[in-house]
Structure 1
Amino acid sequence: MRRSSLLLSSLLLAAGTTATPVAAVASPLHLRHDEPGKGATLTGTVLDPAGKAVEGVLVAVGERTAVTDARGAFRLYGLPVGEATVTVSGLSIRPISQTVTLQSGQPLTLKLTIEEAVQQLAGVTVAAKSLRFAPEVDGNTITAGKKNEVVELDKLDANLVVNSARQVFAKVPGVTVWESDGSGQQINVATRGLSPNRSWEFNTRQNGMDISSDPMGYPEAYYNPPLEAVERIQIVRGGGSLQYGPQFGGLLNYELKRGPKDKRIQFETSNSVGNNGLLGTYNSLGGTVGKVSYFGYYQQRVGGGWRDNSEFNIRNFHGNVQFQATDKLRLGAEISHLGYEIQQPGGLTDEQFYNGDVRKSSRGRNWFSTPWTIPAFTADYQFSERTRLSLKTFGLIGERNSIGLPSSVSVALPDNENPATGQAAARQLDRDRYRNLGSELRLLTDYDLLGQQHTLAAGLRVAAANLGRRQQGKGDTGSDFNLDLQAARYGRDLSFRTRNYAAFVENIFRVGSRLTFTPGVRLEVIDNQGRGYLSLNADGLENQIRQDSRRKVLLYGAGAELRATDQTSFYANYSRAFRPVTFGDLTPPATSDVIDPNLQDARGFNAELGYRGSWKNILTFDVDGFWLRYDDRIGTIRRFVPGSSTATQQFRTNIGTSVHKGVEAYVELDLVHALTQNFDLPHFDVFASSSFVDARYTQLRTATLSGSNLQEGDLKNNRVEYAPKYTHRFGATFAHKGFSTTAQLTRVSEVFTDANNTVAPNAAGTTGRVPGYSVTDLSATYRFAKRFTVRGGLNNVFDKNYFTRRSGGYPGPGLLPADGRTWFASFGVKL
């Protein structure tokens, strides 16, 4: 055992594994036999010497891997029958190994115990892959047959201080990023030609729980955790709709770091500086004492921003406690809080962008803030090695506050930016308040049928969300952040209520050792209600609205995965998806506008076919083709007022369909080792992440008034807004001993910003084409003396002027420049 462990340790270290050694005791608990020709299943737990679960370590059989959960448990399905070596590796532990004989049809269960945990060895090359594919069951999520990615942030060279999304998601093909917030607070991402606006086409979660304003009525993610505190990001494309509901983009889940299981106390700090006055600090404390494990962090960053009038002060706090009540029951409580004030520099016209200083701003009094508090309670019960139950109850106490001048920079306002005259214009004050409560119960169980082991996942969801929206209030004439209303009432005061009930079931059926088939179904029940007044007349009377909608949505789909070799597999998936009617869709922009009382949710499907895997620890790849259909898109069309042949009105209803189809490809090659087969040499990994998307309307009804007649039209074949034809990211990482550095090039095609595919910009810069762009980033990490880390980077190395979006309202209006060249440097210590 000692000899095999040392040999395995040497091989893993030569291959660049960041693990440090451990001895182990491995004992099979039971072994069952069945007919030959069927796949084998391996389950088990990894424990420390005190018998406590070890979370987050990698368990591998050949190229098949799984990561242990909070209970130290792992599962590997469909393994080849026969003798196999099981290895356990991870940061701060020495690899352990155990040789077992796998029999067909029934599971073998192991208990693996590490003897010690030590600090990372000096001189070990750090070159672990930052992107991997999830196993068939990832935690309590089924991913078999679905396109998915797991981004592990500790293995990235990236600017995590300001949440650089284009670096963090670089290896996820097809991710579109809006770069209009240099503070990094707003993460705006999407895939497959969908809108990146605050990631609202994703079902966005933290630790598996809701963090957006209201997934069923206002799915914008104003809160995103600081990426310095995130362990990994889990992405499941459209197939995630069956387990998590809307949206078309699938699941985007941030999983936070946890305290170590083998230490009573561990402290980590990382402090950063950068240009434009950037200062950041991240501090965490965690550990395990008896049956209680705990973890918490405080993160703050302040800066002046790359553009004028873009100061920010962002503060994040998180704390969680886990209590192992019994061998089977684990209880937890956590809370996350965000507080910040960000100055909004507003938009630019095209003339200002191309002929003037792109860093200038003519809006010095616009501010934005979204204080966000997310409490949660969890309970996990392990009935047996095969069956576990998870209950998550979560809430939201949040706000969205803005004060400023919302008009375009091309619109003159009296003394609008000249407070010295004493006649500055009063600012507009808008405030939202969110109060949400939800609970999700999930069951995951393995069971035997016809000589095979299969996996069932089922769940229930109950959620309530309440939004109070007050807009068009009269703010002060100052320039600081001030939320005091200067009038008796807001110009608009609305309240929205959502009640959501859902149930789902999904099952992995295993056929032999190589094929899985995973059907699923989900039923959503949604009850929306809107009350309040849209505006006030001159006499003070309210123009009230009353909106009610109750509907059921049935989602269904199926996935299949065929393992071509031990390291590669084909996968295919078809899943229905929908996007609920939002509260914005129910709020007419003017009192003369009308909302269709039969307005429907947008519905459609995702379909994908791909091939993914790895080869000899040298090559990793994933190539797929996809087809996304987005029916019943919501928009506004002019029509005659019912009963009149002359008067017209704007009518908000379902007006169109779009089809998004394309190819996504990711490949990463360990170039030096592929050429030399000498794993003692430094690593030089190159990667390419590309997507080609053709997103077009197959129908989009229009109507224009010509004299006294309405002329109907159709924007069929026009490209969908903000859907780039291609998105390419190429990069290379050099790693030797404790040092690694990554260079990355991003190329994105031009996009249109409206369904008319307008090319020439208007005077305000709110419509018109967004040109394609290229941008280069460089980052580096150096770990030394076991506990110290230095990071640094240069974003937009060649100081390119570009922009990724135009805005018709918040936070513009106008085109919103991306940041030019910026740099950061961090120094961290772990004790």
Structure 2
Amino acid sequence: MRIFYLLIVIFILSLPSAIAQKNILKGTILDENQSPVVGASVYLEGTVRGVQTDLTGNYILKDFSKGNYVLKVNMIGFKDASIPFSINDKESKELNIVLEENLLLLDAFEFSVSRGIMGQEKLPEVDNFRINAARKNEVIRVGEINANLAMNNSRQIFGRTPGISIWENDGSGIQLGVASRGLSPNRSWEFNVRMNGYDITPDPMGYPEAYFTPPMEVVEQIEIVRGASSLQYGPQFGGLMNFVMRKPDKSKRFSFETLNTVGNNGLFSTFNYLGGTEGKWNYTAYYQKRIGNGWRENGYFNTDHAHVEVNYAASNKLKLGLEMTYMTTESQQPGGLTDEQFKQDARQSTRSRNWFSTPWFVPALTAEYIVSENTKLSWKTFGTFAERNSVGFMRPINLEDDMGNRQLDRDFYTTYGSELRMISDYRILGKEQTLATGVRYFNGFIDRKQQGEGDAGSNMNFDLVDGGVYRRDLDFSNINYAAFAENIFRFSDKFLATAGVRLESIQSNMEGRFNIINGQEIPLNPQNRTRNFLLFGLGSEYRLTPNTEFYTNFSQAYRPVLISDLTPPATTDVIDQNLQDSRGYNFDFGYRGGLGTYLKFDMSYFYLNYADRIGTIAQVDPNGTIYQYRTNLGNSVSQGFEGYVEFDPVTAFFKSSRYGYVHFFASIAFIDAVYGDLATTIVSNGEIIPGNLKGNRVENAPRKINRYGVTYQVKNYSVTWQLSDIGDAFSDASNTLEPNAAATVGLIPAYQVQDLSGSATFAKKYILKAGVNNLTNTMYFTRRAGGYPGPGIMPADGRTFYITLGLKL
């Protein structure tokens, strides 16, 4: 870890001397009133070279080849400017430009500056080597949200995104558990989780998914594409969730920011960021330290995050990049509670010896190449070298800890992959069309060691006792090849359609020891599977007015048989040798856009078909012995409404106000997730009694997910109040109402939670943030865990507060 930090420092100190300047282009960008235009994009057309104007409107481009160029300048609210010029080696040239206001966009620009915080947008039709047209998607602009970012408070961060269900059992902010449309929030595994467009997880198709979550203080935006991402990214029913990290400052050689947060329960967090651009190079790096005792007893956490990114313009058409992300965690797990314990005191804990840790290292190499004016290539190669470690007393929560040796489980992940993408524009019948294509390779290996005998102590220790072994020792490998092609067909200025296909090939292998009984090893029957198939998708958009559009999309999805599906929980269980992948599709139909500069909305209907769900039923063998049989049982369907609206009444009625602006938002969703024909069995008095889940609600799927909020902003001060109103849910497919003694099944009650957060900026560089989460100290829970980190009820945090002081240079 020290070497990691040292490399960052050496790079920053040596950067200026490493650059041999060939030439310089500089200047100032002004508006028609001779005022500087801040943050304008200034770049050389047809190249990878570009910067932004600083606080005085100045820009500088260094060290590019001699030749003839076109300097492009664009900024919302102004007309684009194009200035041809030529430059020689070692020449210094100055180009000052006055931008002309664009009256068609100026009102929108003024609105974006004066309005309350607007933290939700949608992706453009085409960007970053992908097609987004005709898709239900959201962009969460994290920096524009008043929220407890130091603790990755997902309830606030996803507050404006309709239909997102959240497991709020990890107050440390280490793990993120979110889902949509009735799917499971367990470690966000129904999403394809990426960072800067590449995978950050050991198995991007299922378990285990998101053990790593980047600090929200450095996340620029979160991009969510609902289930229709299967053509360009992966097959998940949930779609894509991509964390876009803050990019290097293109207006300065050096910029620095520090945010330091304190709160109750011993919370302390320090976040430090630096970045800049010098000639052909740009860089960014951050370090975050977060430590606290947690809201519950036995809830200590200590995390370190570090990241560095370096980009180099090797030529006018080629840009190379290197990224490295590192995380270490030390987390004490309070465990679950019984229903009676939760009613008595939700902060109590009967597990003082349970610990969890996930050291994580993710390196990535990237390259972008401009083939021609209409064609670009992107290449990313990435890896994950990580662990998942837990030690503790794992018996049911209604059993007292015997203070004996603890159970030790460890996973070791080694993965690497590569993805090549091309995007190209071409013309047919006088209209510009867009084609996106790509190929992908992924190789993942998981070494799983479980049911080891740990020590009898209370501290975090992941060593076996002397002479101890792991009773379960399994090896899993997954190799994935994929290729996709998708095209936008623009038939007119108002109507377009998209069509695409994805070819998938998955090779899975599993072998090892399942258990040791009475000193005898029980091997696991080796599993080898290869699957090849196609996925298809269609979509369309119709622009009803310049600012509103109808959209619809159909996209196939699937979830392959997971390693957990192929691992029987007991030696007597039997796995169906013909176990099939779960298949299905997503369908969306919606209407989105805005009215004037004061109203934004997105209303849509969705339908998600999840076929060939995997489950376990009891059967009788020829000898009359009852055994559990895991096979494909049936399907479920989720359908409903997702709506988002935000409204600025001050701008609507008065256009501007020196007394500030009020901004309202509502994110509402109704989700009807039910099982279809899904066979079940129970064993009673030695006999099998068949049943069916048809009509039962899918577990962990609230029917109502509503969030409302209001922001008041005046100059550089703002405050946001948010209400989360979430319906009840069942913890099991049988829809059990009354909880069992171990609290692993039973109803998850509805709840309402309020949050209040504010921020202020002084002299453009001093930052103050503060807030109270769970304002009314509501006692609630969102999860009943059957195993780790429970078992039992996992309470959400009660009232907490935080205050952040920052400096930006």
CA apart distance, 1:563: 0.7
Aligned to 1:363: 351
Match among 551, 575, 590 for residue 531 of structure 2: 551
After superposition, the C-alpha distances for 1:214-243 in whole angstroms (9 at most, x for unaligned) are 113524210010101101100000111111
Amino acid corresponding to residue 312 of structure 2 in structure 1: F
Aligned to 2:146: 157
CA apart distance, 1:553: 2.9
Match among 419, 434, 458 for residue 413 of structure 2: 434
Q: Distance in 1 between matches of 2:41 and 2:562?
A: 55
Match among 771, 784, 801 for residue 793 of structure 1: 771
Match among 457, 460, 479 for residue 481 of structure 1: 460
Q: Distance in 2 between matches of 1:431 and 1:533?
A: 15
Q: Distance in 2 between matches of 1:492 and 1:29?
A: 59
Q: Does 1:676 align with 2:643?
A: no
SS in 2 for 1:591: coil
Unmatched 5+ residue regions in structure 2?
Answer: 1-27, 54-58, 64-69, 83-94, 100-109
Aligned to 2:342: 353
SS in 1 for 2:729: coil
SS in 2 for 1:585: helix
SS in 2 for 1:353: helix
Cα gap change, 1:50 to 1:412, in 2 (>3 Å)? closer
CA apart distance, 1:543: 2.9
Amino acid corresponding to residue 88 of structure 1 in structure 2: M
Aligned to 1:534: 514
Amino acid corresponding to residue 21 of structure 1 in structure 2: V
Cα gap change, 1:352 to 1:505, in 2 (>3 Å)? same
Alignment of 1:127-146 (within 5 A): 127-146=116-135
Q: Distance in 2 between matches of 1:51 and 1:387?
A: 24
Match among 351, 361, 364 for residue 373 of structure 1: 361
> Contact 1:319–1:335 at 8 Å: present in 2 too?
yes
Amino acid corresponding to residue 250 of structure 1 in structure 2: G
Aligned to 2:380: 392
Q: Does 1:696 align with 2:674?
A: yes
> Contact 1:96–1:114 at 8 Å: present in 2 too?
no
Q: Distance in 2 between matches of 1:538 and 1:544?
A: 17
> Contact 1:202–1:250 at 8 Å: present in 2 too?
yes
Match among 468, 480, 505 for residue 525 of structure 1: 505
Aligned to 2:584: 604
Aligned to 1:759: 737
CA apart distance, 1:148: 0.4
SS in 2 for 1:588: coil
SS in 2 for 1:728: strand
**Alignment size in residue pairs:** 745
SS in 1 for 2:747: coil
CA apart distance, 1:411: 1.9
Aligned to 1:231: 220
Q: Distance in 2 between matches of 1:658 and 1:676?
A: 49
Match among 445, 465, 473 for residue 493 of structure 1: 473
CA apart distance, 1:793: 0.7
Q: Distance in 2 between matches of 1:395 and 1:519?
A: 31
> Contact 1:26–1:98 at 8 Å: present in 2 too?
no
Match among 459, 474, 478 for residue 438 of structure 2: 459
After superposition, the C-alpha distances for 1:577-612 in whole angstroms (9 at most, x for unaligned) are 011211111110000011111111111000000000
Alignment of 1:571-720 (within 5 A): 571-641=551-621, 643-644=622-623, 646-707=624-685, 709-720=687-698
After superposition, the C-alpha distances for 1:474-529 in whole angstroms (9 at most, x for unaligned) are 00000000011014310100000001000000100101101110001101100000
Aligned to 1:344: 333
Q: Distance in 1 between matches of 2:303 and 2:30?
A: 50
Aligned to 2:316: 327
Q: Distance in 1 between matches of 2:224 and 2:299?
A: 31
Does 486-495 or 820-829 show the bigger shift? 486-495
Aligned to 2:232: 243
Does 201-210 or 677-686 show the bigger shift? 677-686
Q: Distance in 1 between matches of 2:422 and 2:151?
A: 37
Unmatched 5+ residue regions in structure 1?
Answer: 10-19, 31-42, 54-71, 75-85, 90-94, 101-111, 417-423
CA apart distance, 1:678: 3.1
Q: Distance in 2 between matches of 1:803 and 1:629?
A: 28
Aligned to 1:56: none
After superposition, the C-alpha distances for 1:163-194 in whole angstroms (9 at most, x for unaligned) are 00010011100000110011011111111111
Cα gap change, 1:531 to 1:217, in 2 (>3 Å)? farther
> Contact 1:202–1:246 at 8 Å: present in 2 too?
no
SS in 2 for 1:238: coil
After superposition, the C-alpha distances for 1:764-787 in whole angstroms (9 at most, x for unaligned) are 111000000000000001011011
Amino acid corresponding to residue 266 of structure 2 in structure 1: G
Q: Does 1:513 align with 2:504?
A: no
Aligned alpha-carbon RMSD (Å): 2.5
CA apart distance, 1:709: 4.0
Amino acid corresponding to residue 50 of structure 1 in structure 2: I
Aligned to 2:19: none
Q: Distance in 2 between matches of 1:528 and 1:114?
A: 58
Amino acid corresponding to residue 60 of structure 2 in structure 1: A
CA apart distance, 1:675: 2.5
Q: Does 1:88 align with 2:67?
A: no
CA apart distance, 1:681: 4.5
CA apart distance, 1:618: 0.5
CA apart distance, 1:27: 11
SS in 2 for 1:241: coil
Amino acid corresponding to residue 151 of structure 2 in structure 1: V
CA apart distance, 1:246: 2.4
Amino acid corresponding to residue 732 of structure 2 in structure 1: D
Q: Does 1:443 align with 2:422?
A: yes
SS in 2 for 1:774: strand
CA apart distance, 1:710: 2.6
Amino acid corresponding to residue 801 of structure 2 in structure 1: W
> Contact 1:661–1:694 at 8 Å: present in 2 too?
yes
Aligned to 1:79: none
Amino acid corresponding to residue 620 of structure 2 in structure 1: F
Cα gap change, 1:27 to 1:733, in 2 (>3 Å)? closer
Q: Distance in 1 between matches of 2:152 and 2:394?
A: 27
CA apart distance, 1:287: 0.9
Aligned to 2:106: none
CA apart distance, 1:677: 2.8
Q: Distance in 2 between matches of 1:815 and 1:219?
A: 22
CA apart distance, 1:25: 11
Amino acid corresponding to residue 146 of structure 2 in structure 1: D
Aligned to 2:304: 315
Does 491-500 or 378-387 show the bigger shift? 378-387
Amino acid corresponding to residue 375 of structure 2 in structure 1: T
Does 707-716 or 617-626 show the bigger shift? 707-716
CA apart distance, 1:51: 3.6
Aligned to 1:15: none
Q: Does 1:21 align with 2:1?
A: no
CA apart distance, 1:288: 1.3
When normalised by structure 1's length, the TM-score is 0.86
> Contact 1:125–1:739 at 8 Å: present in 2 too?
no
Q: Does 1:570 align with 2:550?
A: yes
Aligned to 1:5: 31
> Contact 1:185–1:223 at 8 Å: present in 2 too?
yes
Q: Distance in 1 between matches of 2:552 and 2:643?
A: 15
After superposition, the C-alpha distances for 1:320-364 in whole angstroms (9 at most, x for unaligned) are 11000000000001100110110000000001111x111010000
Q: Distance in 1 between matches of 2:786 and 2:627?
A: 21
Cα gap change, 1:335 to 1:620, in 2 (>3 Å)? same
Amino acid corresponding to residue 354 of structure 2 in structure 1: N
SS in 2 for 1:541: strand
Q: Distance in 2 between matches of 1:23 and 1:474?
A: 58
